Amino acid sequence: MQIIPIKNKFIKSNINIIILSLVITTLFINSIAYLLKNTFLNTEILNFALLSMQQGVLVLWIYYFIKKGVIKNIKKIFVIPKTTLLIAEILKTYLYLFAFGILLGVLKHSFGVEVPGFSEQKNILALFPSTGILFYFTIINATLFAPIIEEVVFRGALLKNLCEKYSDTTSVILSSIVFSLIHFQPEVFGAIFVISILLSRLFLKTNSLIAPILFHIINNLLKTIISL
């Protein structure tokens, strides 16, 4: 009798592979943090080590995604768009973000309505070393490495694969939910969700990762300067 192997459709789906990799990475880093939190007296150095470990693991996942074809045409999605299109779309994105911020301000100050998930974000830099070489590495990571890595994973991999199966709107919403959940910041879940939608829009409008990466870098740089 011939034994027919069972094909695991779950792990054959690029979308499931990406989400599973993010869940595994998140659980792994948080488990390490839980096990070592009472061992390390300097929590700032521990946080830096965990962040570095997380970024390193995500880079390995990106390598795996490219090798296995989960991310297709990596060179194509890094093509630089026309300068006019790039500048116009980034400026539009900031206009949308500014308008949304005004709307939240009006709801809060004029009507006393504070939308959950849009609280003031904590100073993330306070969790990491504030002096020495590790401080500068933290700044570089926040303003350069993290934006590039996150855009490759969430827009270049997750959103692009979702768009092959679902409509652009559904894909943007689903990828943005995952993006918000992975950041583990309930107080600003809504804000991260909106940012993700805008980043996704930039990617779809320009068909390139350059635009969302630039916007992500500028946004993180502004937040970093304000936090200093």
Q: What is the DSSP letter of 113?
A: -
- Both tokens of 81, joined, read 């768009």
Residue 82 lies in a domain: yes
Which residues fall within 8 angstroms of residue 71, CB to CB, at 6 or more apart? 62, 65, 77, 152, 156, 157, 160
Q: For 26-77, write each residue's pLDDT tens digit.
A: 999 999 998 888 887 788 999 999 999 999 999 999 999 999 999 988 899 9
Domain contains 4: no
Residue 32 is predicted with a pLDDT of: 92
Please choose, from the candidates 50, 45, 17, 35, the residue with its C-alpha nearest in 3D space to the C-alpha of residue 184.
Answer: 50
Alpha carbon distances (Å) from 138 to 26, 92, 127, 130, 185: 19, 29, 10, 9, 19
Nearest residue to 163 (alpha-carbon basis) of 76, 72, 74: 72
Please count the structural domains in the chain: 1
Query: Is residue 200 in a domain?
Result: yes
Q: What is the dihedral of CA 67, 12, 201, 119, to 10 degrees?
A: -100
Q: How far apart are CA 204 and CA 182, in angstroms?
A: 22
Whether the predicted pLDDT of 11 surpasses 70: no
**If pLDDT is split at 50, 70 and 90, which confidence band does 114 have?**
confident
Is residue 199 in a domain? yes
Domain housing 213: 10-227
DSSP 78-131: GPPPPHHHHHHHHHHHHHHHHHHHHHHHHHHHHH----TT-SPPP-GGGGS--S
147: confidence class by pLDDT, cuts 50, 70, 90: very high
Question: What whole-number distance in Å separates Cα of residue 216 and Cα of residue 143?
Answer: 8
Phi, psi of 183 (to 5 degrees): -75, -15
Q: Is residue 92 part of a domain?
A: yes
5 found inside a domain: no
Task: Convert the pLDDT of each residue in 148-203 to its tens digit.
Answer: 999 999 999 999 999 999 999 999 999 999 999 988 888 889 999 999 999 999 99
**Lookup: tokens for 109:** 């100050």
**14-36 vs 43-67: helix crossing angle, rounded to 10:** 160
pLDDT of residue 40: 77
Residue 1 maps to a domain: no
Cβ atoms of 154 and 196 within 8 Å: the answer is yes
pTM of the entire predicted model: 0.91
pLDDT in tens, 80-100: 999 999 999 999 999 999 999
Does 63 map to a domain? yes
Residue with tokens 């919403």: 173
Distance CA 150, CA 179 (A): 9
> CB atoms < 10 A from the CB of 92, how many?
14
First to last CA, the chain: 70
For residue 95, the one-letter residue type is L
